[in-house]
């Protein structure tokens, strides 16, 4: 393992030490000078104790952490990924040893260019688990000297309380000649010597994931050893075997737990005698196995199905949509908050695709999303039924890819028409929500929802699209060589927020409406953030063409199935650690992939 800490882990480590050393009664923040602090930072033992605390947090709250998007890419996760630093222990080792002369990192330089402490702790502050951490019982090291011996060089997943660490350190400091006199001339009290046995470790495994790793000696030297394959006993139902030729454990673990594996080993081929060793092999559970599926209260208002899907087929294009309750809602026993609607205007090439994501913090957002898509769809289909001849005539004058005056004039007129129509659409949706809230005698924000809409005319070779985008998620026109994002996620005032459909929608309204006319469109795709977050991670990721290509490679095979909507629904159940929100997708692709065999829903 590398002995160099990553910069973010260095920063978190430094800030933790600074907090521990801060004198709350004085203006001067630190009790130690730079040299003294440098000594602390150069100790691998101190860092490893810090890492063990992170391990304890994960062991106690791993399931809750996996649910939280804040855990992904957080400093806590990176500390766990960094792992422990190798420690070579000898009697003479101390904090001023040759190994410790160079600090693990330059804290003075970091203090001159600090990372805001709130940045370091931000993700942890979002996770309400610290109270449970301190409920874990401490381990009394003095009660069992053999325990001290086992833990002196802790494995990556062995943890001790602060009391245990202090006891271990004190014992090591007293490993001197106890028969010498102290400064007063009186003989020292005899201190029992603790013999340190060889120590081994092996990386953790996870249920269901392919595993290959060697057992390695950590003390008295860090090195690979030769293991007698016949001596190591592994439970038959563990899914793991020992490969004598590769000298490693390998397989796919079938069960979680902590297993003590005894074996015979020698340091090299020349050594004749075998020695006895033991290693703790930890297999962690597959996070997916920890999720529960619970049903909502059958008496709760606004009952909603956990999933939904729809398929529409035409001569030149197909439409499909699906929506799946997220794992977080399954585990909590709550309803799906997302909704969608797709519709074709009869006897025309015009269609409407809508997705909506009800706010997780709003008690009736599942109904808010439903009201929003239904009212928006009615407003838009009514408009298209009446005005599609007018729009068709304008589009006949639009030369795709041209910027001549006629095309500019037509584009401006069509944009104005849809700007006004989407303004009315948003108003009608808000009024529907406010009317429902009044009947329920609650605030309209209890129905908070996003709203993403696309109106599309799909001809055999050309695609016209106009969109309205309020909230997070994504709307895009996908082509093999180019992806056009029809707007941007509509964030709130602070990072991590999103805007919802309410009376403030008129602010910067023009930026929420876009139009385009293309001759290379393969698909129009709308999605809620339950899909966009795990597949694009950030708003900037939405502009990454390679990520869109990767998503299309997942989606396109589903469109070739006899029932694309059902295939997309099954696909949407993919597992992505830290991303467990509802997932809703609506897609129009420009022609049937296979006309024969496709059945109407």
Q: What's the CATH code, domain 307-590?
A: 3.60.40.10
Q: What tens digit of pLDDT does each residue of 258-268 get?
A: 999 999 999 87
Whether the per-residue pLDDT at 76 is higher than 70: the answer is yes
Summary mean pLDDT of the chain: 78
CA dihedral 570, 571, 572, 576 (to 10 degrees): 120
Q: How confident is the model at residue 56 (pLDDT cuts 50, 70, 90)?
A: confident
Phi, psi dihedrals of residue 242, rounded to the nearest 5°:
-105, 125
**Whole-number pLDDT of residue 245:** 92
Three-state SS at 211: strand
CATH (one of 2.60.40.10, 3.40.50.20, 2.170.190.11, 3.30.70.330) for 199-288: 2.60.40.10
**Whole-number pLDDT of residue 402:** 85
Beta bridge partners of 470: 451
Element (H, E) at 192: none
Whether the per-residue pLDDT at 586 is higher than 50: the answer is yes
Using CA of residue 15, residue 20, residue 23, residue 24, what is the dihedral sign? positive
Output the CA–CA distances (angstroms, integers) from residue 143 to 198, 438, 478, in the order listed: 22, 66, 66
Whether the per-residue pLDDT at 13 is higher than 90: the answer is no
Whether the per-residue pLDDT at 377 is higher than 50: the answer is yes
- The residue-averaged pLDDT of 382-407 equals 93
The three-state DSSP-derived secondary structure of 149-191 is HHHCCCCCCCCCCHHHHHHHHHHHHCCCCCCCECCCCCECCCC
d(CA 432, CA 375) in angstroms, rounded, equals 7
pTM metric for this prediction: 0.61
Instruction: Yes or no: say if 179 and 187 are a contact pair by the CB < 8 Å rule.
Output: yes
Q: What tens digit of pLDDT does each residue of 103-123 get?
A: 444 444 444 444 343 333 333
Higher-scoring residue by pLDDT: 427, 57: 427
**Whole-number pLDDT of residue 5:** 66
Q: Would you tell me how many other CB atoms lie within 10 Å of the CB of residue 60?
A: 17
- The residue-averaged pLDDT of 523-544 equals 94
Whether the per-residue pLDDT at 311 is higher than 70: the answer is yes
Output the CA–CA distances (angstroms, integers) from residue 246 to 265, 282, 530, in the order listed: 15, 20, 42
**Whole-number pLDDT of residue 33:** 67
**Whole-number pLDDT of residue 491:** 56
**Whole-number pLDDT of residue 571:** 97
**Whole-number pLDDT of residue 32:** 63
Place of tokens 């709550």: 334
Whether the per-residue pLDDT at 390 is higher than 90: the answer is yes
Higher-scoring residue by pLDDT: 79, 307: 307
Instruction: Lowest mean pLDDT of 41-55, 327-341, 358-372, name the range.
Output: 41-55
Instruction: Lowest mean pLDDT of 34-38, 505-509, 571-575, name the range.
Output: 34-38
Select the highest-mean-pLDDT range: 87-91, 214-218, 433-437. 433-437
Whether the per-residue pLDDT at 302 is higher than 60: the answer is yes
Task: Report percent pLDDT > 70 for the chain.
Answer: 71
d(CA 484, CA 179) in angstroms, rounded, equals 80
Query: Long-range contact list for 252-258, CB < 8 A, 24+ apart?
Result: 252/208, 252/209, 252/210, 252/211, 253/205, 253/206, 253/207, 253/208, 253/209, 253/211, 253/283, 254/207, 255/207, 255/283, 256/207, 256/283, 256/284, 256/285, 256/286, 257/282, 257/283, 258/282, 258/283
Instruction: Yes or no: say if 353 and 342 are a contact pair by the CB < 8 Å rule.
Output: yes
Q: Where are the domains of the chain?
A: 199-288, 307-590
Strands 307-313 and 211-213: unpaired
d(CA 526, CA 355) in angstroms, rounded, equals 7
DSSP string, 385-402: HHHHHHHHHHHHT--TT-
**Whole-number pLDDT of residue 57:** 77
Select the highest-mean-pLDDT range: 40-54, 112-126, 204-218. 204-218
């Amino acid at each position: 393992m590398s002995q160099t800490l990553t910069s973010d882990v260095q920063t978190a480590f430094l800030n933790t030490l600074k907090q521990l050393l801060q004198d709350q009664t004085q203006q001067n923040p630190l009790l130690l000078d730079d040299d003294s602090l440098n000594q602390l930072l150069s100790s691998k033992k101190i860092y490893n104790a810090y890492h063990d605390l992170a391990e304890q947090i994960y062991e106690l709250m791993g399931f809750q952490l996996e649910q939280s998007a804040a855990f992904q890419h957080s400093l806590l996760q990176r500390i766990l990924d960094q792992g422990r630093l190798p420690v070579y222990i000898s009697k003479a080792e101390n904090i001023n040893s040759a190994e410790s002369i160079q600090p693990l990192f330059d804290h003075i330089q970091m203090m001159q260019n600090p990372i805001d402490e709130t940045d370091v702790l931000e993700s942890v502050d979002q996770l309400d688990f610290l109270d449970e951490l301190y409920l874990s019982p401490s381990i009394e090291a003095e009660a069992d000297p053999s325990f001290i011996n086992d833990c002196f060089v802790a494995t990556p997943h062995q943890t001790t309380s602060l009391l245990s660490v202090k006891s271990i350190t004190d014992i090591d400091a007293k490993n001197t000649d106890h028969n010498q006199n102290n400064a007063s001339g009186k003989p020292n009290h005899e201190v029992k010597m603790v013999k340190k046995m060889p120590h081994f470790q092996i990386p953790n495994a996870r249920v269901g994931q392919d595993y290959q790793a060697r057992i390695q000696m950590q003390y008295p030297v860090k090195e690979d050893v030769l293991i007698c394959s016949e001596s190591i006993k592994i439970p038959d139902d563990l899914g793991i075997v020992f490969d004598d030729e590769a000298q490693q454990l390998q397989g796919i673990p079938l069960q979680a737990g902590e297993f003590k594996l005894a074996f015979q080993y020698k340091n090299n081929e020349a050594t004749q005698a075998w020695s006895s060793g033991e290693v703790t092999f930890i297999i962690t559970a597959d996070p997916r196995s920890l999720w529960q599926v619970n049903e909502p209260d059958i008496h709760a208002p606004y009952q909603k199905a956990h999933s939904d899907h729809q398929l529409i087929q035409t001569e030149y294009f197909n439409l499909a949509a699906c929506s799946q309750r997220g794992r977080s809602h399954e585990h909590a026993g709550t309803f799906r908050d997302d909704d969608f609607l797709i519709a074709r205007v009869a006897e025309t090439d015009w269609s409407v695709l809508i997705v909506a994501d009800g706010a997780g913090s709003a008690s009736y957002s599942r109904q808010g999303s439903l009201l929003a898509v239904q009212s928006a769809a009615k407003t838009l289909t009514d408009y298209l039924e009446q005005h599609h001849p007018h729009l068709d005539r304008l589009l006949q004058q639009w030369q795709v890819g041209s910027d001549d005056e006629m095309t500019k004039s037509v584009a401006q007129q069509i944009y104005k028409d849809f700007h006004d129509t989407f303004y009315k659409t948003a108003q009608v949706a808000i009024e529907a929500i406010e009317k429902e809230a009044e009947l329920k005698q609650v605030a309209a924000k209890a129905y908070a929802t996003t709203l993403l809409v696309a109106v599309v005319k799909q001809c055999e070779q050309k695609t016209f699209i106009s969109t309205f985008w309020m909230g997070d998620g994504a709307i895009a026109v996908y082509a093999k060589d180019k992806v056009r994002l029809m707007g941007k996620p509509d964030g709130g005032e602070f990072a991590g927020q999103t805007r919802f459909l309410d009376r403030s929608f008129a602010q910067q309204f023009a930026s929420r409406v876009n139009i385009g006319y293309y001759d290379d469109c393969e698909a129009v795709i709308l999605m809620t953030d339950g899909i966009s977050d795990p597949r694009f991670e950030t708003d900037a990721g939405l502009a990454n063409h390679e990520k869109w290509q990767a998503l299309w490679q997942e989606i396109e095979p589903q469109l070739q199935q006899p029932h694309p909507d059902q295939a997309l629904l099954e696909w949407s159940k993919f597992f992505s650690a830290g991303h467990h929100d509802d997932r809703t997708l609506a897609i129009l692709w420009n022609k049937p992939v296979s006309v024969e065999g496709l059945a109407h829903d």
